[in-house]
A and B are shown apart, each in its own frame.
Chain A
Amino acid sequence: MAKTSRFKSGLISSLIPFGFNVERWGYVIHRVTGVILIGYLAAHLFETFQLSMGPGAWANTMSALHSLGPLEMVGLWLVAGSALYHGANGIRLVLNEVFGILMGKPIMPVYPYSPTSLGRNQKLAVWTITAVVLVLWLWAGLYLLAGLGVI
């Protein structure tokens, strides 16, 4: 009998985890924002490198960027959001992983079960981060819109 690959079944749900805990969605967004930031880092290094190639190269790069129009600001807005989320969530992860806090202590499980690592402290951290990131991201958006001259 053919065995299906052990990974095929896991891949989709690992990327879009419907029904799972909020920390799992946080993990997905952390990975996606990480990829965006690496992409941005590469693009940014390439862009600033053009400065050393002389005034012509720099002007070409700038006009290429500005020709995107509002898309440039949208792109920057997405990067800003990625940096905000990845940084703030990253702090939470450092607290979890390096210091082992927000996870709770070993307890004696009592039914109905509620794991301490997904408990009150962790959820508080997750939602606080989400709130702070959203507020700052909106502010960044307004800042960029002002830059566009819209407001």
Chain B
Amino acid sequence: MALDKLVLEVLRSGGKKARYELKFRKGMTVLDALVEVRERQDPSLAYRHSCRMGICGSCGMNIQGIPRLACQTQVSSLGKDVVKVEPLHGMSVIKDLVVDIDPFLSMHTFVKPYLIREDLAERDGSDREYRVLSDEVARFLQFDYCIMCALCYSACPTVALDPDYLGPQAMAQAYRYMADPRDEGWDARINLLDRAHGVWRCHVAGSCSFVCPKDVDPAKAIQMARVEVLKKRVLRRTAKAGSPLVNPAPAGAAKQGTRAPPFDFKEGGRG
């Protein structure tokens, strides 16, 4: 659609709506528009941004009512010449479009999102690696794509109603580690999920997966986590050992001396 003028309507601190008029440029994203507003019209407009390529997760905001990353939302794709921008819902507003993501981050820390092993000395001090096959990686890799942008947390209806709810990101990360073949922390995390404010409050509204900019699909991770919780309750399942350490030298490799360069370096080599 042909646009030459764009109106950005931003909900600022104190509930005021500010209107900014801009000239539309081809390929303009909502973030481009916000940057132009701050640099040319109103330097007091506060919003977060950094990478402008959809990998850092700073620029989450509500655009036309849906949580999106501003840096990868093309103005032309919104189909209107008035773009309504609000801060992310479900979190306290600090100033303009900057919200407080601390509750979101603390939920993440709560689920122990790190690799847990019985033998910590081996985990932190060995010189070898755990053996993991590609299809074992495929079981959790999708959930590791999370850039912690908090769009899913903002879109979730349960988060809007329950302040102690873990939220889709935390539960997806808990499952990411439980599904990691190297992890031995299944028992440690299952009880954190098996609570009223854990998996049981998810009613599969699916909005988390709908808004996720990296296709982490937290709705799927939560249901898979719930299946694990049911396995614990019904089948009395417990954790099993994680992947073993392997000798880095591949089997059958010819023993070449480690100091056998293919040509004589001292004279400067091949040049």
Quick check: do A and B touch in the complex, using CB within 8 A?
A: yes
- Which residues of A pack against B, CB within 8 Å? 1-7, 9-11, 13-14, 17-21, 23-24, 26-27, 30, 93, 96-100, 103-104, 106-109, 113-118, 122
B14, B103, B207, B227: most-surrounded residue (chain A CB, <10 A): B207
> Please, which residue of chain B has its CB at the minimum distance from the CB of A109?
B215
- Which residues of B pack against A, CB within 8 Å? 13-15, 64-66, 86-87, 89-95, 100, 103, 138-143, 145, 154-155, 157, 159-161, 163, 179, 202-207, 209-210, 212-217, 219-220, 223-224, 226-227, 230
Across-interface contacts of A7 in B (CB, < 8 A): 90, 160-161, 163
Q: Is the CB of A115 within 8 A of B220?
A: yes
Distance in Å from the Cβ of A15 to the closest Cβ of chain B? 8
A13, A26, A114, A116: most-surrounded residue (chain B CB, <10 A): A13
Main secondary structure of the interface of A (DSSP, over half): loop
Across-interface contacts of A11 in B (CB, < 8 A): 160-161
New A-B pairs, 15, CB < 8 Å, besides A17-B207, A27-B157: A3-B93, A6-B163, A10-B160, A13-B160, A19-B64, A24-B205, A97-B223, A97-B226, A100-B223, A103-B223, A106-B138, A116-B220, A117-B219, A118-B206, A118-B219
Question: If the complex has contacts A3-B100, A23-B206, A117-B223, are A18 and B215 also in contact, measured as CB distance less than 8 A?
Answer: no
Q: Is the CB of A19 within 8 A of B223?
A: no
Across-interface contacts of A27 in B (CB, < 8 A): 157, 203-206
Across-interface contacts of A107 in B (CB, < 8 A): 138, 142
Q: Is the CB of B220 within 8 A of A104?
A: yes
Across-interface contacts of A26 in B (CB, < 8 A): 205
Q: Is the CB of B217 within 8 A of A117?
A: yes
> Please, which residue of chain B has its CB at the minimum distance from the CB of A31?
B203
In the bound complex, how far is the Cα of B155 from the Cα of A118, in angstroms? Answer: 15
Across-interface contacts of A100 in B (CB, < 8 A): 223-224, 226-227
Q: Is the CB of B142 within 8 A of A108?
A: yes
Distance in Å from the Cβ of B197 to the closest Cβ of chain A? 15
Question: If the complex has contacts A10-B159, A19-B64, A113-B215, are A3 and B142 also in contact, measured as CB distance less than 8 A?
Answer: no
Pairs A-B, 3 closest by C-beta atoms: A10-B160, A109-B215, A113-B215
Question: If the complex has contacts A9-B90, A30-B203, are A115 and B209 also in contact, measured as CB distance less than 8 A?
Answer: yes
Q: Is the CB of B157 within 8 A of A17?
A: yes
Q: Is the CB of A98 within 8 A of B204?
A: no
Across-interface contacts of B142 in A (CB, < 8 A): 106-109
Q: Which of A1, A6, A96, A108 contacts B90 (CB 8 A)?
A: A6
Distance in Å from the Cβ of A88 to the closest Cβ of chain B? 15
In the bound complex, how far is the Cα of B214 from the Cα of A115, in angstroms? Answer: 9
